[in-house]
Amino acid sequence: MDSKNIYEKTKMKIAISKANKEDIVMDNTKVNILKRLGIAIIALVSTTGVVFATSAIINKFGPNSSEGSQRAIDSGYIAYSKEDSIVDSFMLDRYNFYITFREDKLGMTLDEIQEKYNKVEIGEKRQEYLIIKNEKGEKVFSNIGNAYGLTSEDGNIFYTATSKEFPKAKKLYVDFAGKKEVLDVPESMQEDLEEYKLKSISDESWKFESALISNTAFKIYLSNCNGIDHNEKNRVVTSDGKEFYSQARSDGDGSISVESDGIVRYYNTFSLGKLDATDELTIYLYKNDGSEVVIELTK
């Protein structure tokens, strides 16, 4: 990744952070950065010059979709519905969820949806009009439970969300303002996460907790990692030399927290998916003083 792309990602992250000051909690017992599961698309659109992927995915799922998701979708990791469905397409992953609805089948335009469901008056809470559950009744997506993005592209309305982990699903039960749909989830989207194990870590005072990869993203979890920083140079490198940087979108993508026990906990999400993964990975992380910590992983 060249310096310009790194700068743009950093600028975007700062802009999101400023737009969501109320989601940054900082007191004597806890520091929790970028608290929500997802980020409203309006915050992303207002950040000029930020492009996550090619125009194909932006037209389909919007700029909140990740680079790892783009590569997966380009390889066919997407499901389309029947022509008479209210749903046009969707992508479910343990870390990412995207769905598009057909305006003509919903019987509502984007403006009508915004006017009817998104208008927030003093003392009122936003109405939960979109609920998606799996066959176990677990909520996969909600326009209240997850921050979301929506816009109109080619006659469709899209929603995107990122999370620490979405529940697995064989079927999706969609309820959009009383219009219901049952979607079959392709077997490839039912796959579980794959785990990497620790080979070595250059700062042995840091504790490795876990490293998991899905079809669209890679997450690493650490604890006791004093001094760790959200550095723009943080990256994962595959054994064939490809570099993957932090997705830097929302709390579903990373945080540094200090709980009441005083232990520093960290996790971060990178745009590496199973499609590009190798059996050996090297993670480069940085401290506040600029020093580097190298972590080697294996399957």
Within the chain, which residues score under 50 in pLDDT?
1-59
Residue 148: partners with Cβ closer than 8 Å, 6 or more residues away: 38, 40, 41, 141, 159, 160, 161
Q: What is the Cα gyration radius of the chain?
A: 19
Q: How far apart are CA 197 and CA 200, in angstroms?
A: 9
Q: What was the pLDDT predicted at 148?
A: 63
Residues making up the chain, counted from first to last: 299
Q: What was the pLDDT predicted at 7?
A: 40
CB 253 within 8 A of CB 247: yes
The dihedrals phi and psi of 248, each to the nearest 5 degrees, come to 50, 45
Which of 44, 53, 49, 50 is CA-nearest to residue 20? 44
CATH of region 12-35+192-298:
2.60.40
Q: What was the pLDDT predicted at 256?
A: 93
Q: What was the pLDDT predicted at 119?
A: 64
DSSP 114: I
Q: What was the pLDDT predicted at 152?
A: 67
CB 221 within 8 A of CB 213: no
Domain layout of the chain by residue ranges: 12-35+192-298, 41-190
Q: How far apart are CA 211 and CA 70, in angstroms?
A: 21
Tracing tokens 């403006």 back to the chain, one arrives at 111
Burial 19-38 (b: 16+ CB within 10 A, else e): bbeebeeeeeeebbbbebbb
